[in-house]
């Protein structure tokens, strides 16, 4: 993906493999929520954690996702894989009861869950329906707070929670609409949760990843345009890949970041630092994107 350059654009840098740190997460147990396929950000994070020695539990939503996720996580030796609907309180409670019974403790949680009606993302934010607004905020934002509350009793020796956000939380992005509002609320939640959970030694942070070719990103209108402009305007002149986000997550979920909480960490090849893209960045490419 890093080499998919617009004609005439400067060559970008390349994503690097995560350094071999096989013992960094040894003895740690954590929950990964949000894997949909092998292109999911949550999967990139899971691979980094597994490589560092962590024991992982996974959730998925619905049989269709289960058919894809189950074969993937079996290769990582995961014994706890459960279908969960974050809109259903009992479904979440059942998950954490199982974690309590089978593990007894929890060291970290990865929350990579978001949803909005893709048809409403195509229009204007002002036209967002009440029903879609409420559901988008419930799934994309409130679920993280509820999961944090349920995880807290299991984090008897401290812990770390991370969630995934995007630049659309702070700046207007094409076809992002209510998801931008949901992500803004999610980032505020990170700060309040960090304050609430800090006294118990539990840290809460967010990773703001740049545009990636994921299943979730594909439903956003103009995704290829955003992907290309972000690549050409970013200081590193490339889009980020799963290994980039996986490495950042490994830092936040390990003891390397023991003194860090309440932050939003950008993994976007530096795009967030750019005020105005270089001249010609937004011009249509030869492929018609």
Active site residues: 166, 176
**CA atoms 75, 77, 112, 48: torsion sign:** negative
Under a CB-based contact definition with an 8 Å cutoff, are residues 203 and 261 in contact?
yes
CA angle 38, 32, 15 (to 5 degrees): 50
Residue 182 makes CB contacts below 8 A (sequence gap 6+) with 114, 116, 136, 137, 140, 141
Six-digit token pair at 232? Answer: 């050409």
Residue 117 makes CB contacts below 8 A (sequence gap 6+) with 129, 132, 135, 136
Q: In angstroms, rounded to a whole number, what is the distance separating the alpha carbons of residues 238 and 100?
A: 42
| Number of H-type helices and E-type strands within the chain | 10, 7
């Amino acid at each position: 993906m890093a080499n998919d350059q617009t004609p005439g654009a400067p060559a970008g840098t390349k994503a690097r493999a995560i350094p071999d740190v096989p013992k960094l997460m040894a003895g740690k147990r954590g929950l990964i929520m949000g894997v949909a396929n092998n292109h999911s950000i949550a999967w990139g994070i899971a691979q980094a954690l597994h490589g560092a020695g962590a024991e992982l539990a996974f959730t998925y939503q619905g049989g269709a996702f289960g058919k894809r996720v189950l074969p993937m996580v079996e290769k990582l030796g995961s014994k706890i894989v459960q279908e969960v609907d974050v809109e259903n309180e009992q479904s979440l409670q059942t998950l954490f009861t199982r974690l309590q019974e089978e593990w007894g403790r929890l060291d970290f949680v990865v929350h990579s869950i978001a949803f909005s009606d893709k048809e409403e993302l195509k229009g204007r934010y002002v036209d967002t329906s009440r029903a879609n607004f409420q559901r988008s905020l419930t799934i994309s934002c409130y679920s993280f707070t509820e999961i944090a509350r349920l995880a807290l009793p299991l984090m008897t020796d401290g812990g770390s929670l991370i969630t995934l956000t995007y630049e659309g939380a702070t700046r207007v992005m094409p076809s992002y609409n209510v998801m931008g509002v949901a992500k803004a609320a999610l980032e505020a939640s990170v700060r309040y949760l960090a304050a609430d959970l800090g006294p118990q030694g539990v840290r809460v942070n967010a990773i703001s990843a740049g545009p990636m070719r994921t299943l979730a990103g594909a439903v956003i209108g103009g995704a290829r345009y955003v992907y290309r402009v972000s690549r050409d305007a970013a200081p590193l002149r490339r889009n980020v890949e799963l290994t980039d986000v996986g490495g950042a997550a490994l830092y936040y979920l390990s003891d390397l970041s023991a003194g860090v909480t309440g932050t939003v960490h950008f993994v976007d090849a530096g795009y967030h630092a750019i005020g105005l893209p270089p001249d010609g960045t937004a011009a249509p490419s030869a492929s018609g994107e």
